[in-house]
Amino acid sequence: MAKIELKSLEHRYASSRKEKDSFAIEDLNIVWEDGTANALLGPSGCGKTTLLNIISGLIKPTSGSVLFDGVEVNDRPTRERHIAQVFQFPVAYDTMTVFDNLAFPLRNQGKEGNEVEARVNEIMELLDLGSLTAMKASHLNPAEKQIVSLGRGIVRKDTVALLLDEPLTVIDPILKLDLRRKLKLVQQELKLTIIYVTHDQHEALTFADHVTIVRDGFIVQSATPEELFLHPRTPFVGYFIGSPGMNTLRCEKTSDGLEIPGSSLSLPSAIASRADKLKGRIDLGIRPEFVETSAEERSDWNRFTIQMVDHAGAYQVLTLQSGSLQIKARVEDHSISKEGDPMWVNFPSEKTNLYADGERVAP
Amino acid sequence: MRQRPWLFLLPTLALMSISAFIPLMAVINYSLHTIFAGSTPEFVGLQNYADVMGDAQFRGALLRQLTFSLLALLIEIPLGVGIALCMPRKGSAVGLSLVLLGIPLLIPYNVVGIVWRLFTQSDIGVIPRFLAVLGYDYNVSLDATDAFMTILLVDVWHWTPLVVLLAYAGLQAIPQTFYQAAEVDGASAWKTFRYVTLPKLRSVLTLGLLIRFMDSFKVYSEPLLLTGGGPGNATTFMSLFVARKAEAYELGYAGASSIIYLYVVIVMSYILFQFINRSPEERRA
Amino acid sequence: MKKRSITLTAYFLLLFVPIYWMVITSLKTDVEILQSFTLFPQKITFENYREIFTSEVWRSSFINSITYVLLNVVMTLMAAIPAAYAFSRWKFRGDHHLFFWLLTNRMAPAAVFMVPFTELYYMLNIYDTHFAVALAHCLFNLPLTIWILEGFMSGIPKEIDETAFVDGYRFPRFFRKIFLPLIAPGIGVGAFFCFTFSWVELILAKALTLTEAKPVVVTLTVGIGAEGVKWGLLASAGVLTIIPGILVVYFVRNYMAKGFALGRV
């Protein structure tokens, strides 16, 4: 239960000596409110784990501050920050039983006896570990070890935040659901501030109330899942979120209005007039979900040809081609269109995003 | 490609039969005969074995050897682990440290003997003088305890680097994540060592134990050069004992004592070996 | 952090004190050694080294040692590599037992085999040759090398072998071009251990040689026990026997570091 803040955070890896590109994290500012479930999302290698380790105190940042509830904790060692961290690689103390694993953090604080027993039982019930109490940790499978790691994190009553570093990476898909469920349960019960690092957008979007997208050490956008979906700030966010990602089309202003090079598309006047005010490189972004399609001819819409039909269960993804332009659209599963068929397409203005030099411009 | 294990093993089997199998058969053969120079060997069955087991000298040497090996292990293993924990984990210091550790291991055993002889000899050595200053009258050639302790010290000096290397390899194999988790759990340095480091070092330490045990049983050159096995029998260990009998051409006796010697080593090593083989399976989750 | 480097430095210093002592003894005159006690030579002399380099006995001793050690390394590797491959890739009847029997030989004290070796090699007419010692040292080097190599080979997935065969590689070519480069660190570690154990071994080297193949370890022993031991000479010979070892370790230290990282020593 703490508000976590990073101010002007910068970090350079110890081994890099190059001038340019030597910073892993540059001028990062972010606030995570007390008791919220947050995700830190981004492609692998962009500094997410480093960020997490800076928050927990395992790494000291090159410059900048880490604040818990407004107090700077840069010089506080990890054990004094009262955080819990679950790592990508399941960690359990193999020589101890599950019970002793969970009791370990408490005993390290000097607690013992009934106090420890009561608390451990409480957590074991919450996480449904009762049947494994006396089992040696070395016999557990990775998913069980992660639950035990989670348990060790929350067994301390003074834990204020829970940091998770891609905890589901090595877990079997079948067991992931159970772990996710337990995590959500923990969050609801204990109201901890949770920061969940992942490269899997599905994990992030379903778990967190607030998602921060990180790329190359920069924060690209920090918002609710809905906001990220509807109004991605850059084409990168649009592409990274959603499956499939947002269509991004380069546009050019001409005397006739807005054109998309390589095709004879005509865009609705609403979009064209929005683009009037923009300067610089213009991109148009629209999600496959919002592309309007019709198998029957519509005179004011654009004609495309279906290149490929991907069946994804509840829906289909159509790859549509017009000239040298290719876009993707999502349609209902019961559509009977097949490859080679024509498809008429429209981009509704209210669902279309426009970007000037890579930044979204609100209509 | 078709499996042809025996073809691939042929060179090994050929070499080993000459270096190992045939000589072993020969030794067993000796052990069953009485052999005198000049006359034909006489088959005596297990008589030699009975003689050997009944011989106080033999039992003395065996006991001395066991004491020596156990003491050596008791010092070398913890010391080796301790030094390994102090070793640098990355950077240029690693290569340098490995080279420095390797040097004592590369000194021929008898050079080790010479080095320590120079060190401990009454008239020219550093240690006698040093200890004299402290008030202790040290004499490696005349005092049994001094002699035994010196050989022990030589073994520790010579072989601890091997334990360090093994323990170091084991330490390097432990993922950083475990230490991070222990830090988050608020574990003290000792608890971290006990619950993270030590369990993960178990198989490598058993290996070190096994190797050092086997090798300490073979100690020969150092006592030969430093004390000649004396004073009296104080530093006559198994290898020296058997070699002396062989040199005196008491081959029957030497043969029997060799076989018993070999048997003790194999049995104890087998027990330890089983232990190594069991641990990895036990840890599979 | 500080405590660690202090302890480590102290350990290394203690480790090297006897070696230092030997080095300075080798540089002292006999008079100084016997009659005075100094921590640093009063008068540095290279007389001892000169004597060794000019002496036929010492020179040939060193050459003999290097010869049989290198011979042993080659023989051992040539037998160990295919054997390790067989153990690593194939299951066959008796494989565990054979492996264990091999390891028991590593455990065998050389003293036990002294006499049989001597007699056997006499019979085979190879007594007092480099080949004899190299062969005898296989007793413990071969099992150890097989063990080390098997460990490294097991770290290479069998899929690589299978893919190569599917791609049409004949076995010799696969082995030469694909497999050997992959286990190079293992070969380095194995060769290192062979070299080390063979170079330092005394009992068999002494028993199996007389004059032709007399190694330096034996020549060193000869000087002991006699009246008026020449300490300076022995010390310098000792220093010289360490040098090849140091060179070897220095050059393979990177292989060693890699080998250690892979976990199988």
Q: pLDDT tens digits, residue range A32-52?
A: 888 888 999 888 766 788 888
pLDDT digits (tens, 9 = 90+) for A342-351: 888 888 888 8
**C and A interact (at least 3 Cβ pairs within 8 A):** no
In angstroms, the separation between the Cα of residue A172 and the nearest Cα of chain B is 14
C35 confidence band (pLDDT: 50, 70, 90): low
Query: Same domain for C237 and C189?
Result: yes
Q: What is the pLDDT of residue B72?
A: 93
Q: Within a domain: residue C50?
A: no
pLDDT digits (tens, 9 = 90+) for B186-205: 899 899 999 999 888 887 78
The 10 Å CB-count burial string (b at 16+, else e) for B43-78 is ebeebbbebbeeeeebeebbebbbebbebbbebbbe
Locate the domains of chain A by residue range: 4-230, 245-361
B174 in reach of chain A (CB within 8 A): no
> With 60 as the cut, is the pLDDT of residue C262 above it?
no
B116 and C79 in contact by Cβ < 8 A?
Answer: no
Q: What is the pLDDT of residue C207?
A: 81
Give the number of other Cβ atoms within 10 Å of residue A348's Cβ: 13
Interatomic CA distance for residues A186 and A162, integer angstroms: 10
Q: Within a domain: residue C167?
A: yes
DSSP state of B274: H
B3 in reach of chain C (CB within 8 A): yes
Of A240, A275, A271, A259, the closest CA to residue A356 belongs to A275
> With 70 as the cut, is the pLDDT of residue A15 above it?
no
Helix (H) or strand (E) holding B237, with range, is none
- Residue A335, both tokens: 């559509």
CA dihedral for A288, A290, A295, A297, sign (positive or negative): negative
Burial of C156 (0-12, 13-18, 19+ CB in 10 A): middle
Beta strands in A95-182 (DSSP E): 161-165
The 10 Å CB-count burial string (b at 16+, else e) for B186-210 is bbeeebbeebbbebbbbbbbbbbbb
C5 in reach of chain B (CB within 8 A): yes
Q: Within a domain: residue C200?
A: yes
DSSP state of A131: G
A48 in reach of chain B (CB within 8 A): no
Of C159, C151, C158, the closest CA to residue C187 belongs to C151
A78 in reach of chain B (CB within 8 A): yes
Interatomic CA distance for residues C27 and C52, integer angstroms: 13
Q: What is the pLDDT of residue B279?
A: 47
Q: Within a domain: residue C92?
A: yes
Q: Within a domain: residue B8?
A: no
Query: Same domain for C191 and C241?
Result: yes
> With 50 as the cut, is the pLDDT of residue B280 above it?
no
Q: What is the pLDDT of residue B37?
A: 66
CATH of domain A245-361: 2.40.50.140
In the predicted model, what is the mean pLDDT of residues C89-115? 80
Query: Same domain for C126 and C33?
Result: no
Neighbours of chain C (3+ CB pairs under 8 A): B
In angstroms, the separation between the Cα of residue C161 and the nearest Cα of chain B is 9
Report the number of distinct structural domains present in chain B: 1
User: To the nearest 10°, the Cα dihedral for C168, C172, C173, C178?
Assistant: 100
- Chain B residues in contact with A102 by the CB 8 A cut-off are none
Same fold, A4-230 and A245-361: no
Q: What is the pLDDT of residue C73?
A: 93
Q: What is the pLDDT of residue C229?
A: 66
> With 90 as the cut, is the pLDDT of residue A333 above it?
no
Interatomic CA distance for residues A125 and C51, integer angstroms: 82
What is the residue-averaged pLDDT of chain C?
80
Interatomic CA distance for residues A129 and A83, integer angstroms: 22
- Chain B residues in contact with A149 by the CB 8 A cut-off are 181
C150 confidence band (pLDDT: 50, 70, 90): confident
In angstroms, the separation between the Cα of residue B285 and the nearest Cα of chain A is 4
Q: Which CATH number applies to A4-230: 3.40.1010.10, 3.40.50.300, 3.40.1180.10, 3.40.50.720?
A: 3.40.50.300
Q: In what order do the strands lie in the sheet with A302-311?
A: A292-294, A342-346, A302-311, A315-322, A325-332
Beta partners for A354?
A284, A361
The whole domain housing C169 covers: 55-261
> With 60 as the cut, is the pLDDT of residue A17 above it?
no
Q: What is the pLDDT of residue B96?
A: 82
pLDDT digits (tens, 9 = 90+) for A140-165: 888 888 899 989 988 988 888 999 99
Q: What is the CATH number of the domain that holds C60?
A: 1.10.3720.10
Q: What is the pLDDT of residue A206?
A: 85
Query: Same domain for C41 and C94?
Result: no
> With 70 as the cut, is the pLDDT of residue B59 above it?
yes
Minimum Cα–Cα distance from B85: chain C residue: C4
In the predicted model, what is the mean pLDDT of residues A307-319? 86
Mutate to test the interface with A, among B185, B193, B194, B198 (most CBs of A within 10 A): B185
Q: What is the pLDDT of residue B71?
A: 93
Query: Same domain for C62 and C8?
Result: no
Query: Same domain for C108 and C224?
Result: yes
**B and C interact (at least 3 Cβ pairs within 8 A):** yes
Q: Within a domain: residue C35?
A: yes
Burial of C185 (0-12, 13-18, 19+ CB in 10 A): buried
- Chain B residues in contact with C246 by the CB 8 A cut-off are 99, 103, 106
- Residue A323, both tokens: 């000239």
Interatomic CA distance for residues C90 and B5, integer angstroms: 7
Q: What is the pLDDT of residue C264?
A: 43
B110 in reach of chain C (CB within 8 A): yes
Minimum Cα–Cα distance from A82: chain B residue: B184
**End-to-end distance of chain A based on CA atoms, in angstroms?**
38
- Longest C-alpha distance within chain C, in Å? 76
Q: Which of A88, A138, A149 sits opposite B282 (nearest CB)?
A: A138
Q: What is the pLDDT of residue A218?
A: 82
Residue, of A98 and B246, whose pLDDT is higher: A98
Q: What is the pLDDT of residue A21?
A: 52
pLDDT digits (tens, 9 = 90+) for C204-241: 888 888 877 888 777 776 655 444 567 777 788 788 88
- Chain C residues in contact with B116 by the CB 8 A cut-off are 18
Beta partners for A214?
A219
Helix axes B56-86, B238-247, angle to 10 degrees: 140
Q: What is the pLDDT of residue A216?
A: 80
- Residue type, position C169, single letter: Y
Number of H helices, E strands in chain A: 9, 20
Q: Within a domain: residue C172?
A: yes
Q: What is the CATH number of the domain that holds B184?
A: 1.10.3720.10
Q: What is the pLDDT of residue A5?
A: 86
C241 and B83 in contact by Cβ < 8 A?
Answer: no
Q: Within a domain: residue B53?
A: no
Report the number of distinct structural domains present in chain C: 2
The string of DSSP codes covering C34-50 is HH---SS-SS---HHHH
In angstroms, the separation between the Cα of residue B283 and the nearest Cα of chain A is 6
Name B66's Cβ contacts closer than 8 Å, sequence gap at least 6. Answer: none
Question: Among residues of chain C, what percentage have pLDDT more than 90?
Answer: 7
> With 70 as the cut, is the pLDDT of residue B9 above it?
yes
Q: Within a domain: residue B29?
A: no
Q: Within a domain: residue B54?
A: no
B177 confidence band (pLDDT: 50, 70, 90): confident
Q: Which of C116, C221, C245 sits opposite B23 (nearest CB)?
A: C116
User: To the nearest 10°, the Cα dihedral for A316, A322, A325, A327?
Assistant: -10
Q: What is the pLDDT of residue A242?
A: 84
Mapped onto helix, strand or coil, the DSSP state of residue C223 is: coil
The whole domain housing B133 covers: 62-249+260-282
Question: Among residues of chain A, what percentage have pLDDT more than 70?
Answer: 96
ipTM score assigned to the predicted complex: 0.78
Burial of A76 (0-12, 13-18, 19+ CB in 10 A): middle
pLDDT digits (tens, 9 = 90+) for B220-275: 888 887 887 778 888 888 888 888 887 777 778 888 888 888 888 888 877 777 76
Q: Within a domain: residue B5?
A: no
Q: Within a domain: residue B84?
A: yes
Contact A258/A272 with Cβ under 8 angstroms? Answer: yes
Minimum Cα–Cα distance from B91: chain C residue: C257
Q: Within a domain: residue B22?
A: no
Residues 42-81 of B with CB under 8 A from C: none
Q: What is the pLDDT of residue C78?
A: 92
> With 80 as the cut, is the pLDDT of residue B28 above it?
yes
Lookup result for tokens 């290479």? C156
Name A261's Cβ contacts closer than 8 Å, sequence gap at least 6. Answer: A250, A252
B285 and A142 in contact by Cβ < 8 A?
Answer: yes
Q: Which of B5, B124, B240 sits opposite C90 (nearest CB)?
A: B5
Q: Which of A108, A138, A139 sits opposite B187 (nearest CB)?
A: A108
Interatomic CA distance for residues B176 and A110, integer angstroms: 25
Interatomic CA distance for residues B45 and B38, integer angstroms: 21
What is the residue-averaged pLDDT of chain B?
82
Q: Within a domain: residue B25?
A: no
Q: What is the pLDDT of residue C222?
A: 63
Interatomic CA distance for residues A357 and C187, integer angstroms: 57
B126 and C111 in contact by Cβ < 8 A?
Answer: no
Greatest mean pLDDT range, A277-286, A351-360, C74-83? C74-83
Least confident of A213-227, B113-127, B255-269: B113-127
